[in-house]
Structure 1
């Protein structure tokens, strides 16, 4: 078993109301573009505010890929360091006793990777194991926890961190009037999260109040590779976002959830805590409808979306941290973490308090 000891979330200092971001992006659109459509999209995604890596005035069509990626590295290094150190402090683990750091991002490029750059400044051992992940997108928070569990099952005396650093705003193409880019500009926010976990033989295993990881499952859906991801070129990262995604969730993911739970003698009604990636309000609505969930079941996901936007892989860490901070569920409670990403893929993690 794997025990979650702490979950941290940190954000850039630049926080804006959704209406402020809407008006700024409307000014960036080319002459003759449909600004009314942009405003309707921004109003429809149920986001109230977001944090951005840069002040609003620093975004615009003049920024090239090199400029934005340099900004990514600088901001991600600062946020990732804070998230890692906060999780270690909350979990009561000295930095020198961390055995593995797994880092994920899909919003910028860095070589050396972020966790390598953070290791020295945070006091990690020179022989700390590192596992950088790229390309899993929004699914990487749940997938990373599943992979962390696999590692700690094999090395149950170890302590490990999953670090997610996502600066989605730096991928925005301000002059792109495609629906995918308009939705991305309305939905995504910036932030970082870190999850500290230990194996069953670690001295801190019995001291934690966080959940244990019971099992995880990854699933690719063939023929859906072109529905979600990045189109990467000299312009940087351009969003690929198929309109079919909510229907894919309806047709395939719900069955995946039900069969995964059934393998552990559970039904959706047995799940006490839902940690669902807020890919957008339509995704959450489809999950609630098809799984027959009460309104309160996805309240934490909807609250995270409203408060900070879609944080890509960091969203599920933000949601889980919020659940823990509000007072962990009673012992014996069951949780399910769900996230979706490029592939098209789903990631499920079964938790128990």
Structure 2
């Protein structure tokens, strides 16, 4: 299942050894914020809910761990929109503005001007556009017309890691300037009222956001940037394809989310992560920082179990889920941003990004923190066990078969 791709130091035309580094990282959300209590009141008032459906909304929205979510909407009434054309227009409006905000923050941290960007990679799964978002992003930022660009579609929550890998490949092939990597999702454009538990869960936990990363080649023998991009790994497990996907109904995207997703996701990322660690002669104890996609408390609990990690190791993923919900593909970079801001990683420490998505796919990235990451304030005090691992949104008593290798 695991691919074997690795990124060694780059040999430029002058034979100087360079590394791929993350020079700037920016995150952004739409301005409209809704607490889970407000969402419950609105759903209760405007949706025709069956008793079991209402109870599940209550359990997730009122008793769950998410405080609130940022949504690409002008008013709460946008939740009721079902016209595909209007939904697409709303997606385009908020995906552009949110992505641009994240990109400008990343560029500012990197000290890079838009005109310096030589490549652009954009991923999204919450709407289909032709041309893709790259055309709009390039226009809004004022990027050069000779830019190399790529749009990634259909990969869902794991997509930002192959996005970063594609951006790294652009740097490998050409030393023409930094490459901008952008992940943006407007999950609220796919809200789909319905009585099925998977729709209740989807409507209750997904939020909107964007993350941008500026990738560059390091200066000769320098420890610059925030992190060094060491290596990538991926896996594809088609036998579980139907467990996590979008379907189109009436011109709209309808989420399909099986009860088995937490176990399948944890099993697939464990396999990919283990392969990547073995390739570099590392163990899990060599990883100081884990940035795991915050797909939900059940997902994180299963990942911690499979990787034999203490819940404290995933505290930054839990924090992002609590404050933003599941934003799909940008989420893991929100986690990395919080690690940089609050975790005080030391130069030379290793980290790993883990995410999974449609396909069924899983992705991992091995990183090494640089001196540029060590300038953040002391982290807030955290509790060892906040009850995160006990949370479970799926129907009690559900039996899930053991997931084996693909």
Which TM class, normalised by the smaller chain length?
A: over 0.9
- Max radius of gyration: which structure? 2
Moved more, 251-260 or 117-126: 251-260
CA distance in 2 between counterparts of 1:130 and 1:250 reads 32
Determine which of 86, 94, 99 is the counterpart of 2:105: 86
Alignment correspondent of 2:200 = 182
Post-superposition CA distance 1:140-196 (Å, at most 9, x none): 11221122222222224531111111111110013x121111111111111111011
CA distance in 1 between counterparts of 2:50 and 2:242 reads 29
Counterparts in 2 of 1:96 and 1:181: CA distance versus 1, 3 Å:
same
Alignment correspondent of 2:367 = 351
CA distance in 1 between counterparts of 2:355 and 2:232 reads 12
Matched position secondary structure for 2:263: helix
Counterparts in 2 of 1:250 and 1:207: CA distance versus 1, 3 Å:
closer
RMSD of aligned alpha carbons? 1.9
CA distance in 2 between counterparts of 1:45 and 1:342 reads 25
Post-superposition CA distance 1:222-267 (Å, at most 9, x none): 3111111101132411001111122224544323322321221111
Counterparts in 2 of 1:8 and 1:31: CA distance versus 1, 3 Å:
closer
1:160 aligns with 2:176: no
Alignment correspondent of 2:94 = 75
Moved more, 285-294 or 145-154: 145-154
Determine which of 73, 76, 79 is the counterpart of 1:54: 73
1:6 aligns with 2:24: yes
Determine which of 6, 19, 30 is the counterpart of 2:37: 19
Measured after TM superposition, the shift of residue 129 of structure 1 is: 1.1
CA distance in 2 between counterparts of 1:101 and 1:87 reads 13
Alignment correspondent of 1:245 = 261
Which residues of 2 match residues 91-130 of structure 1 at below 5 A?
91-130=110-149
CA distance in 2 between counterparts of 1:82 and 1:62 reads 26
CA distance in 2 between counterparts of 1:336 and 1:235 reads 38
CA contact under 8 A between 1:209 and 1:328: conserved in structure 2? no
Matched position secondary structure for 1:272: strand
Post-superposition CA distance 1:115-135 (Å, at most 9, x none): 211212312101111101111
Moved more, 56-65 or 306-315: 56-65
1:276 aligns with 2:292: yes
Alignment correspondent of 2:153 = 134
Alignment correspondent of 2:386 = none
CA contact under 8 A between 2:81 and 2:87: conserved in structure 1? no
Determine which of 290, 304, 326 is the counterpart of 2:320: 304
Counterparts in 2 of 1:45 and 1:278: CA distance versus 1, 3 Å:
farther
Alignment correspondent of 2:229 = 213
Counterparts in 2 of 1:17 and 1:152: CA distance versus 1, 3 Å:
same
Counterparts in 2 of 1:44 and 1:144: CA distance versus 1, 3 Å:
farther
Measured after TM superposition, the shift of residue 208 of structure 1 is: 3.3
Matched position secondary structure for 1:59: helix
Matched position secondary structure for 1:47: coil
Alignment correspondent of 2:380 = none
Counterparts in 2 of 1:45 and 1:226: CA distance versus 1, 3 Å:
farther
Matched position secondary structure for 1:127: coil
CA contact under 8 A between 1:156 and 1:200: conserved in structure 2? no
Alignment correspondent of 1:192 = 210
Alignment correspondent of 1:341 = 357
Alignment correspondent of 2:246 = 230
Number of residue-to-residue matches in the alignment: 350
CA distance in 1 between counterparts of 2:130 and 2:316 reads 35
Post-superposition CA distance 1:27-76 (Å, at most 9, x none): 23225453122211334652111101114422344431111111111111
Structure 1 residue runs without a partner (length 5+): none
CA distance in 2 between counterparts of 1:250 and 1:12 reads 30
State TM-score, norm by structure 2: 0.82
